[in-house]
Amino acid sequence: MRIFNFSAGPAVLPEPVLRKAAAEMLDWHGSGMSVMEMSHRGKEFIGIADKAQADLRALLAIPNNYKVLFLQGGAIAENAIIPMNLLKAKSVADYVNTGEWSKKSIKEARKYCAVNVAASAEDKHFTYVPPQESWKLSKGAAYIHVCTNETIGGVEYQWTPDTGDVPLIADMSSHILSRAIDISHFGVIYGGAQKNVGPAGLTLVIVRDDLLDQALPITPSAFHWKEQAEADSMVNTPATYAIYIAGLVFEWLEDQGGKEDRSRMNVPFRLRDESLDEAFLKGAKERGMVQLKGHRAVGGMRASIYNAMPVEGVRTLVEYMGEFEKRHG
Ligand SMILES: *Cc1c(COP(=O)(O)O)cnc(C)c1O
């Protein structure tokens, strides 16, 4: 039996993803091999990696002038990799300190450059995000670093900083893909996969093209964003199985309703066979759920889940949808 796993990471994965991976374990799509056994340069795996990247780009609406890199080392390695990749022309970087993960980023960056802590929430035990008006930015900083979700203290940015021409770098390890973000505000977004994306071993790095040319000469090839971008993240052997599972997670996310800009309040959906609409509504009514009919302009169904809707209502609807699908699917 599966349990409810509240781990902060490595964390729960979608059960359908695990089942699919299990079914494909010994023979991926007739290849006669597990994904683990494939060459990372073979056409099967390249197809898997390309699809994972395309799906991630669609889910997050990543603009064309950003590269998506599938690297290794986790967010902690990236804490060192970031200054190495961005300090060619500058020697100072600004950091906002909102808690334990910010502190780790700062500590690591200090090995490579002068760090200006532009704002800190330490005065109130890291229980808030210092408003941007209070940030004391340095002149000529190479970048401004934030941790947009502090996994240990439980503090999350509900807004996106506006840093003008200075690239904004964000550790999004523990909330990436949980909501829509406007990627164009960021220079670099990074995170370990093991929270919201997939298994440990994979690091996502989303980097704007113009920042690919700022690396220090000492930057190791495996951690050099430009070299990795030019090699489709294959300067070294990538974490192939973790990329495959992340790809399944992206597909699963799309199945959950797809678009990242989806409303948290109004959830329109359609039955595959619209001739069953009336039957669906009738069954819902019998279970005490009404007003699920979609707006007449678009048809289909719509569940509006404003603040006062008890979670039990949503559960009942989801359960009913599952039942209905089994009966008619
Ligand atoms: C989990 C976490 C990390 C650590 O990442 P590793 O993959 O272990 O290197 C870093 N930053 C944040 C915000 C995290 O939640």
DSSP assignment of 55-110: HHHHHHT--TTEEEEEESSHHHHHHHHHHHHH-SS-SEEEEEE-SHHHHHHHHHHT
Q: What is the pTM of this model?
A: 0.89
260 pLDDT exceeds 70?
A: no
Say if ligand 1 is within 6 A of residue 9 CB.
Answer: yes
Determine the distance separating the centroid of ligand 1 and the alpha carbon of 256, expressed in angstroms: 26
The 3-state DSSP class for residue 71 equals strand
Among residues 96, 91, 85, which one has the least CA distance to residue 210?
85
C-alpha pair distances (Å), 105 with each of 77, 102, 161: 10, 5, 18
Please report the pLDDT score of residue 262 as a whole number: 78
The 3-state DSSP class for residue 302 equals strand
312 pLDDT exceeds 90?
A: yes
Residue type, 255: D
Determine the distance separating the centroid of ligand 1 and the alpha carbon of 303, expressed in angstroms: 36
Q: What percent of the chain has a predicted confidence (pLDDT) above 70?
A: 99
List the residue whose alpha carbon is closest to atom 12 of ligand 1. Answer: 173
- Residues in a beta bridge with 69: 205
* Per-residue pLDDT tens digits for 208-244: 999 999 999 999 999 999 999 999 999 999 999 999 9
C-alpha pair distances (Å), 93 with each of 156, 161, 171, 232: 22, 16, 15, 28
CA–CA separation, 313 vs 186, rounded Å? 38
Candidate from 2-11, 58-67, 113-122, 256-265 with smallest mean pLDDT: 256-265
Higher pLDDT, 272 or 64: 64
Q: Which fold has domain 263-328?
A: Aspartate Aminotransferase, domain 1 (3.90.1150)
310 pLDDT exceeds 80?
A: yes
CATH topology of 22-253 equal to that of 263-328?
Answer: no
Q: In the structure encoding, which two tokens stand for residue 261, read together? A: 């800009």
Say if ligand 1 is within 6 A of residue 74 CB.
Answer: yes
The gap from C-alpha 306 to its chain's centroid, in whole angstroms, comes to 26
Write down the domain spans for the chain: 22-253, 263-328
Average pLDDT over residues 261-286: 92
Please report the pLDDT score of residue 164 as a whole number: 95
Please report the pLDDT score of residue 306 as a whole number: 95
Q: Residue 258 — pLDDT band, cuts 50, 70, 90?
A: low
Say if ligand 1 is within 6 A of residue 75 CB.
Answer: yes
298 pLDDT exceeds 70?
A: yes
Among residues 87, 34, 86, 97, which one has the least CA distance to residue 240?
34
* Per-residue pLDDT tens digits for 84-127: 999 999 999 999 999 999 999 999 999 999 999 999 999 999 99
List the residue whose alpha carbon is closest to atom 3 of ligand 1. Answer: 75
CA–CA separation, 50 vs 133, rounded Å? 41
Active site (catalytic) residues: 101, 171, 195
What's the mean per-residue pLDDT of the chain? 96
Please report the pLDDT score of residue 1 as a whole number: 86
257 pLDDT exceeds 80?
A: no
Among residues 35, 29, 69, which one has the least CA distance to residue 53?
69
Per-position b or e across 254-287, b if 16+ CB within 10 A of its CB? eeeeeebeeeeeebbeebeeeeebeebbeebeee
Determine the distance separating the centroid of ligand 1 and the alpha carbon of 180, expressed in angstroms: 20
CB 115 within 8 A of CB 125: no
- Count of residues in the chain: 329
261 pLDDT exceeds 80?
A: no
C-alpha pair distances (Å), 279 with each of 142, 274, 276, 328: 60, 10, 5, 10
The 3-state DSSP class for residue 267 equals strand
List the residue whose alpha carbon is closest to atom 8 of ligand 1. Answer: 74
CATH number of 22-253: 3.40.640.10
List the residue whose alpha carbon is closest to atom 10 of ligand 1. Answer: 75
13 pLDDT exceeds 70?
A: yes
Pocket test for ligand 1, best of 96, 101, 107, 205 (most atoms within 8 A of CB): 101
202 pLDDT exceeds 90?
A: yes
Say if ligand 1 is within 6 A of residue 148 CB.
Answer: no
- Residues in a beta bridge with 136: none
